[in-house]
C-alpha cells in the first residue's frame, strides 16, 4: 500500500498458514488486487505453492518477495524500470536484528523512516559495510550494483522476471525444501540463455529476523545435489515443476 507504483496484482502464496492469516489478508481485498493461493501444512512446501501462484498470475512481468521482507516504497517501480528482455533481476535484502524487527510498527513503514539509517541507528543498529545498501543516492547505487562481487542470482526475497521465461522453465522444482530452492530456478534460466542484472543496491527490502524451525541439514544437502545436477546437465526445465 506504500508503493509509489501500485501493483497490478498481488498473489499471496501461502504455504499452510492457519485461517487467521487468510482472515487478515482478506481485510485488504477492497484496497489491493489480491489473489490468495493456499494449501494445507505438510511441511516446507514453498516451491509447490509458488507454482500454484504462477498458475493464476496474469501479468507479463512478475516480482517475487517473501513475507518477512518490508519493501521500500520504490521497490515495484525499480523492478519495472530495470526490467529487460533476455534477463532477470537479482536483488538482495538488508537484514535487521531481532531487537529492531520486534520494534517495527506499521507507521514506521508508511512514513518510510524504517529505511533511514538515523532511525535504525537510534534503535541499536551496528555500523557495518552492509548499511551502504540504504544510502539513497542513484549514482552511488548504480556504482555499487556494478562493482559488487555478489553474483546476480535468483533470490526469492527480491527477484523478478518475465512470466513467459519462468513458465518455459516449468517454474520451481517441487522436490526442493528450504535452502537455495529459489536459486535453482535462476540457474535454469541462465542455462536457457538469460542473464541476471544486479539491483541489490537499488531495490531495497528490510528482512525481519525470525526463527526457522523448518531448516534441516538433510534437506539442504538434497537441494545442493539437485542444483549440482542442474548446472552439470545444463537443464533449462524441470520435470518436477509445472
Q: What is the pLDDT of residues 182-200, one digit of tens each?
A: 999 999 999 999 999 999 9
> Which pTM does this prediction carry?
0.94
Cβ neighbours for 116, distance < 8 A, ≥ 6 positions apart: 134
pLDDT (0 to 100) of residue 206: 97
Mean per-residue pLDDT for 18-29? Answer: 94
Which residues are bridge partners to 207 per DSSP? 69, 95
Report the alpha-carbon distance of residue 14 to residue 22 in Å, rounded: 9
Mean per-residue pLDDT for 154-174? Answer: 97
Indicate the pLDDT class of residue 180, thresholds 50, 70 and 90: confident
Report the alpha-carbon distance of residue 115 to residue 72 in Å, rounded: 7
Task: Give the rounded percent of residues in the chain with a pLDDT score beyond 90.
Answer: 90
Mean per-residue pLDDT for 60-81? Answer: 97
Report the alpha-carbon distance of residue 17 to residue 7 in Å, rounded: 23
Report the alpha-carbon distance of residue 68 to residue 206 in Å, rounded: 8
205-207 and 69-71 beta bridge pairing: antiparallel
pLDDT (0 to 100) of residue 215: 83
Mean pLDDT of the chain: 95
Report the alpha-carbon distance of residue 51 to residue 79 in Å, rounded: 21
Class of the CATH domain delimited by 60-232: alpha beta
Note the Cα 91 to chain centre separation in Å.
8
Report the alpha-carbon distance of residue 15 to residue 3 in Å, rounded: 25
Cell of 8: 497490478
Nearest in space to 71 (alpha carbons), one of 127, 10, 25, 129: 10
Indicate the pLDDT class of residue 212, thresholds 50, 70 and 90: confident
Amino acid at each position: 500500500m506504500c508503493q509509489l507504483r501500485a501493483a497490478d496484482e498481488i498473489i499471496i502464496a501461502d504455504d499452510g498458514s492457519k485461517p487467521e492469516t487468510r482472515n487478515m489478508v482478506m481485510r485488504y481485498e477492497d484496497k489491493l488486487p489480491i489473489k490468495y493461493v493456499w494449501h494445507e501444512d505438510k511441511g516446507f512446501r514453498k516451491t509447490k505453492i509458488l507454482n500454484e501462484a504462477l498458475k493464476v498470475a496474469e501479468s507479463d512481468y512478475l516480482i517475487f518477495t517473501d513475507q518477512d521482507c518490508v519493501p521500500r516504497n520504490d521497490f515495484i517501480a525499480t523492478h519495472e524500470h530495470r526490467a529487460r528482455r533476455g534477463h532477470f533481476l537479482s536483488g538482495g535484502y538488508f537484514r535487521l536484528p531481532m531487537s529492531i524487527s520486534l520494534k517495527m510498527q506499521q507507521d514506521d513503514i508508511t512514513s518510510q523512516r524504517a529505511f533511514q539509517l538515523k532511525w535504525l541507528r537510534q534503535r541499536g543498529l551496528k555500523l557495518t559495510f552492509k548499511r551502504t545498501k540504504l544510502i539513497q543516492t542513484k549514482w552511488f547505487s548504480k556504482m555499487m550494483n556494478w562493482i559488487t562481487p555478489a553474483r546476480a542470482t535468483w533470490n526469492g526475497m527480491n527477484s523478478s522476471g518475465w512470466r513467459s521465461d519462468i513458465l518455459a522453465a516449468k517454474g520451481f522444482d517441487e522436490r526442493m525444501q528450504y535452502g537455495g530452492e529459489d536459486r535453482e530456478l535462476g540457474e535454469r534460466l541462465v542455462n536457457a540463455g538469460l542473464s541476471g542484472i544486479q539491483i541489490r543496491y537499488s531495490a531495497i527490502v528490510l528482512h525481519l529476523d525470525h526463527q526457522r524451525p523448518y531448516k534441516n541439514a538433510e534437506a539442504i544437502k538434497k537441494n545442493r545435489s539437485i542444483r549440482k545436477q542442474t548446472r552439470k546437465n545444463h537443464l533449462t526445465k524441470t520435470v518436477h515443476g509445472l
